[in-house]
Amino acid sequence: MATKKIALLGFGTVGSSVAKVLATGKFAGVELTHIYNRDVERKKSTPNAKFVPKTTVWTENINDVLSSDVDIVIELIGGLDPIESWLRKAITSGKSVVTANKQLIAYRGAGLLRLAKKHNVQLIHGAAVAGGVPVIPGLLQGQAGDQITRIRGIVNGTCNFILSKMEAGAEYADVLAEAQALGYAEANPSADVDGFDARAKLCILSRIALRAELDPEQVPTQSISAVQAIDFAYAKELGCTIRQISAAELVGATVQARVAPMLVPNTLPMAWSHGTQNMVVASGRFGGDVVFSGHGAGGEPTAVAVVSDLLAVVHGHSSVELPIKKRVVTGDFLSPHYLRFVVNDKPGIVSAIAGALAKVGANIDSLLQRPGHDKNALPFVVTTEPCLNSTMDKAVRIMGKMDCMLEKPLCLQMLEREER
Amino acid sequence: MATKKIALLGFGTVGSSVAKVLATGKFAGVELTHIYNRDVERKKSTPNAKFVPKTTVWTENINDVLSSDVDIVIELIGGLDPIESWLRKAITSGKSVVTANKQLIAYRGAGLLRLAKKHNVQLIHGAAVAGGVPVIPGLLQGQAGDQITRIRGIVNGTCNFILSKMEAGAEYADVLAEAQALGYAEANPSADVDGFDARAKLCILSRIALRAELDPEQVPTQSISAVQAIDFAYAKELGCTIRQISAAELVGATVQARVAPMLVPNTLPMAWSHGTQNMVVASGRFGGDVVFSGHGAGGEPTAVAVVSDLLAVVHGHSSVELPIKKRVVTGDFLSPHYLRFVVNDKPGIVSAIAGALAKVGANIDSLLQRPGHDKNALPFVVTTEPCLNSTMDKAVRIMGKMDCMLEKPLCLQMLEREER
Ligand SMILES: NC(=O)c1ccc[n+]([C@@H]2O[C@H](COP(=O)([O-])OP(=O)(O)OC[C@H]3O[C@@H](n4cnc5c(N)ncnc54)[C@H](OP(=O)(O)O)[C@@H]3O)[C@@H](O)[C@H]2O)c1
Ligand SMILES: NC(=O)c1ccc[n+]([C@@H]2O[C@H](COP(=O)([O-])OP(=O)(O)OC[C@H]3O[C@@H](n4cnc5c(N)ncnc54)[C@H](OP(=O)(O)O)[C@@H]3O)[C@@H](O)[C@H]2O)c1
């Protein structure tokens, strides 16, 4: 087997860990010839730089890589531009690409994959979802024979960290600050807590598992930031916890897809996922539910996925290719819902809420009120029988206007108790 | 892509489901040309026979397959002989092989894989461990970049069914009978309950994950049949449950490997695996713990793995090949142990037991005695600080000879609480 020349674009958290994993693994047939990053001198003094072979060329000029005879480009910079155009050039000049860039693969993946096919090179991105957990190779290689109809999971470790700490009693703002201090969350946490990071991953999973090409912008998201400690107390009474769930299900020609904090019954594996762990559950027509879980992020776990992809390319990998269809997205799942209100308690409130639900055609399943709260700011909960998210949105709009409401009612989708 | 001709050997539970999954999936590039089984007329009247194309040749003569121009042979008969010689002939004549035969792959896999390599064909066996759960492709494709040092799991669904029913209060003999009635357990359940089935799978996982070739006969097994309802009660007090665990860990040049009922702390994912579910946890130096779980058996889940393997071969798959070493096995793990005694209670028993443990150099960690038992047949439990299994074997031999012992003491290894 001829040795393949490898270039690393980006020597940050993941990129530098790739250098370490490569050096430690001493894999045959792989030679790291180039590292591209801005401000190379600073990068050379980072701890993992000691794993970079002496012969490797460090460069701040992307053309040194693109015009070289490198066989495989590993992209670990992130973002859409200028990355897409660089990778297009690499592919067009016959280089295979390995990347962990979920935004790129979610938004521009379809075109890039076509280009790679046309130029007879590989574009693989096993690290783009769930970091070190081999969900993508597991689905591509191990479940190709099934017809996956639903994919659900916890694919944002930051949200899972925050929500599982809240489950243990902490308040949102405190845990977010802790997550920021630990480096799990950005200074601007929106991409994580508002669901955009998870949404990109969900679209990648949909392409692979459901063979459905989705427009990420069409997938509704709901922020976890409105979830409060009291919601975990009520969830517990309902035999549930709360997690940021990314869900996509093929229903006829449409894909139901959503990223939102949801009530997860304690009987489901997703309720057991704690800390920054990721978990993906793929439900197949023949194989039933398959669960993958582990470290979804972090330099070294993600580097494992990148290096595994690299080895696959080096060893002449070609993954099973099955036809992919563009699909229309709806955020409407038919499922029970959890509604939490904070009201200034007055007679007639329950009847007004029941009236609003009746108006949109939703049936109340249960009504919960924990003791010990101030009547002037009383949190209580209603759960409904299965109905559409759009129906609940209408109800929430009506109820949000009621005088007694001290804050916008929180409406969370509830996952059904049984597994497949 | 030229269409590949496929032969199915064996039209039983898995084989007939493969025909169904193939027919339903309408995969391009695949044509089922032959089915070999004994007593073909009987097979033609089974329900899944309706999924077999009219053009497929049914035969009772293996040479019709071996001398044909079939490209890929799917072996779903099971057993070592005559299967090995048939598959050797197939490989030698340039046919790739897909199989779910764990005994064959555990005992004769190394030689067959060499032969396949020599003849430049594929031999893949993703369904041989954990049926429909893509552990093998996940490890081969998704974790090739890591250095896996330990593999543990629940790979026998029958034992997991029995033990999780016992956890819920049932007695061993009753659940075994139920498992037999449901078709989960054979009339002679030894291969399952005594650990031989799991041991074959553990050896296959060791080859792939630890890159260690083990002699299955050297891997110690312990039957689950000595576990009683009372052990679940004591396990619960210790924050644990009991599962049949298959574990292999690379320690220096040796592999510690064992299949046995073990105490599993409720904090570990393996404690959450119920019913016939399988679960495998691979611990990597860089990627930490990765968990795979799902349906480990059953015709259709297993058929998914077989068809996925088939598609991989059809699409020109070649998995990452890493060097594999022959390794010496030891059954000696350093871990805490659980000892359950049933004694005719007399003064001095605890001191005699403590004496036996002191003699072999094991330290007592805790002593548990649940109230409400007959003094003439008193079950009680001692847990030890970490020590070797061989040390405990010695202690059990000494204690087994004591007059007060009404049955052989049960000694179970306890898994440590923390994950990696
Ligand atoms: N971290 C994870 O756990 C994880 C998990 C899965 C996937 N990913 C994906 O992996 C990719 C890399 O993530 P990361 O965490 O390693 O990010 P990172 O630590 O920020 O590393 C990015 C590297 O690229 C360099 N860089 C950024 N923009 C550049 C430009 N225009 N020109 C030259 N160099 C540039 C940065 O240099 P400076 O030091 O100068 O900024 C840095 O060294 C992203 O696509 C991310 O989504 C990450
Ligand atoms: N079942 C599972 O869940 C599962 C999961 C993972 C792996 N596997 C593996 O898959 C393989 C097949 O399992 P299975 O459950 O499908 O077994 P099965 O139902 O017993 O099917 C075996 C088939 O092979 C036929 N057969 C047996 N010996 C033969 C011989 N000497 N000549 C011709 N035909 C013969 C049998 O015919 P008769 O009907 O005449 O006996 C039967 O149709 C085994 O290696 C097993 O370990 C099974």
Q: What is the ipTM of this complex?
A: 0.94
For residue A352, the Cα-to-chain-centroid distance in whole angstroms is: 38
| Residue contact B134–A290, C-beta within 8 A | yes
- Predicted local confidence at residue B218, as pLDDT: 97
Contact between residue A305 and residue A349 where contact means Cβ atoms under 8 Å apart? no
DSSP summary character for residue A122: -
Contact between residue A16 and residue A46 where contact means Cβ atoms under 8 Å apart? yes
Task: In whole angstroms, give the CA distance from residue A104 to residue A116.
Answer: 14
The CA distances from residue B20 to B9, B14, B15, in Å, are: 15, 10, 9
Residue type, B347: P
Q: Which of A17, A160, A302 most suits a substitution to test ligand 1, by most atoms within 8 Å of the C-beta? A: A302
A373: exposed, middle or buried (Cβ count in 10 Å: 0-12, 13-18, 19+): middle
Question: Closest residue of A to B314, CA-based?
Answer: A320
| Span B270-282, average pLDDT | 94
Nearest 5°: CA angle at B409, between B403 and B410?
170
- Predicted local confidence at residue A208, as pLDDT: 96
Of residues B18, B281, B343, B292, the one with CA closest to residue B133: B292
Share of chain A above pLDDT 90, in %: 87
Task: In whole angstroms, give the CA distance from residue B110 to residue B104.
Answer: 10
DSSP assignment of A254-296 equals: EEEEEEEEEEEETTSGGGG--TTEEEEEEEETTTEEEEEEEE-
The number of residues in chain A equals: 420
Task: In whole angstroms, give the CA distance from residue A70 to residue A53.
Answer: 16
Q: Ligand 2 center to residue B101 CA distance, Å?
A: 9
- Predicted local confidence at residue B56, as pLDDT: 98
Q: Which atom of ligand 2 is nearest to the CA of B78?
A: 45
Residue type, B365: D
pLDDT of A320 > 80? The answer is: no
Burial code (b: 16+ CB inside 10 Å, e: under 16) for A64-95 equals ebbebebbbbbbbbbeeeebbebbbbbbeeeb
Q: Note the pLDDT tens digit of each residue in A106-120.
A: 999 999 999 999 999
Interface contacts A/B by beta carbons within 8 Å? 194
Expressed in percent and rounded to 5, the helix, strand and coil fractions of chain A are 40, 25, 35
| Span B246-258, average pLDDT | 96
Average pLDDT, chain B: 94
The CA distances from residue A49 to A13, A31, A45, A46, in Å, are: 12, 16, 6, 6
| Residue contact B316–A321, C-beta within 8 A | no
Q: Which residue has a Cα nearest atom 44 of ligand 2?
A: B78
Q: Is the CB of B310 under 6 A from ligand 2?
A: no
Q: Is B54 a catalytic residue?
A: no
Distance from the Cα of B224 to chain A's closest Cα (Å) equals 26
Q: Note the pLDDT tens digit of each residue in A242-286.
A: 999 999 999 999 999 999 999 999 999 999 999 999 999 999 999
Question: Where do we find the tokens 């890159």?
Answer: B211
Question: Which of the two residues, B186 and A193, has the higher pLDDT score?
Answer: A193
Residue B373 confidence class, pLDDT cut points 50, 70, 90:
confident
Structure tokens at B175: 């659940």
Structure tokens at A175: 């845990």
**Of residues A137, A285, A303, nearest to B286 (C-beta):** A303
Q: Which residue has a Cα nearest atom 44 of ligand 1?
A: A78
Ligand number nearest CA of A133 is 1
For residue A290, the Cα-to-chain-centroid distance in whole angstroms is: 17
Q: Note the pLDDT tens digit of each residue in B134-167.
A: 999 999 999 999 999 999 999 999 999 999 999 9
Q: Note the pLDDT tens digit of each residue in A72-93.
A: 999 999 999 999 999 999 999 9
First CA to last CA distance, chain A: 44
Q: Ligand 2 center to residue B37 CA distance, Å?
A: 10
Ligand number nearest CA of A65 is 1
Q: Note the pLDDT tens digit of each residue in B185-208.
A: 889 999 999 999 999 999 999 999
Superfamily for the A4-124 domain: NAD(P)-binding Rossmann-like Domain (3.40.50.720)
- Predicted local confidence at residue B195, as pLDDT: 98
Residue B84 confidence class, pLDDT cut points 50, 70, 90:
very high
Q: How many Cα atoms occupy the beta-carbon half-sphere of A4 within 13 Å?
A: 23
CATH of A334-414, one of 3.30.70.260, 3.40.50.2300, 3.90.1530.30, 3.30.390.50: 3.30.70.260
Residue B304 confidence class, pLDDT cut points 50, 70, 90:
very high
- For domain B135-295+321-330, give the fold: Dihydrodipicolinate Reductase; domain 2 (3.30.360)
Task: In whole angstroms, give the CA distance from residue A283 to residue A289.
Answer: 4
Q: Which of A64, A76, A196 most suits a substitution to test ligand 1, by most atoms within 8 Å of the C-beta? A: A76
Q: Which residues contact A94 (CB under 8 A, 6 or more apart)?
A: A119, A120, A121
Structure tokens at A139: 């689905």
Question: Which of the two residues, B371 and A76, has the higher pLDDT score?
Answer: A76
B148: exposed, middle or buried (Cβ count in 10 Å: 0-12, 13-18, 19+): buried
Q: Domains of chain B: which residue ranges?
A: 4-124, 135-295+321-330, 334-414
Question: Closest residue of A to B26, CA-based?
Answer: A145
- Predicted local confidence at residue B346, as pLDDT: 85
Per the residue annotation, which of B4, B43, B102, B201 is the catalytic one? B201
Q: Is the CB of A360 under 6 A from ligand 1?
A: no
When mean pLDDT is compared across A10-14, A157-161, A321-325, the lowest value belongs to: A321-325
pLDDT of A317 > 80? The answer is: no
- Predicted local confidence at residue B319, as pLDDT: 65
The number of residues in chain B equals: 420
Structure tokens at A176: 């977010």
Helix axes A83-92, A102-118, angle to 10 degrees: 20
Q: Are strands A123-124 and A277-284 parallel, antiparallel or unpaired?
A: unpaired
| Residue contact A311–B147, C-beta within 8 A | no
First CA to last CA distance, chain B: 44
* The 3-state secondary structure of chain B, one letter per residue: CCCEEEEEECCCHHHHHHHHHHHHHCCCCEEEEEEECCCHHHHHCCHHHHHCCCCCEEECCHHHHHCCCCCEEEECCCCCCCHHHHHHHHHHCCCEEEECCHHHHHHHHHHHHHHHHHCCCCEECHHHCCCCCCHHHHHHHHCCCCCEEEEEEECCHHHHHHHHHHHCCCCHHHHHHHHHHCCCCCCCCHHHHCCHHHHHHHHHHHHHHHCEECCHHHCCECCHHHCCHHHHHHHHHCCEEEEEEEEEEEECCEEEEEEEEEEEECCCHHHHCCCCEEEEEEEECCCEEEEEEEECCCHHHHHHHHHHHHHHHHCCCCCCCCCCEECEEECCCEECEEEEEEECCCCCHHHHHHHHHHHHCCCEEEEECCCCCCHHHEEEEEEECCEEHHHHHHHHHHHHCCCCECCCCEEEEECCCCCC
The CA distances from residue A189 to A158, A195, A224, B223, in Å, are: 9, 10, 11, 52
Residue A305 confidence class, pLDDT cut points 50, 70, 90:
very high
| CATH topology match: A4-124 vs A334-414 | no
- Predicted local confidence at residue A419, as pLDDT: 56
Question: Where do we find the tokens 């957990």?
Answer: A133
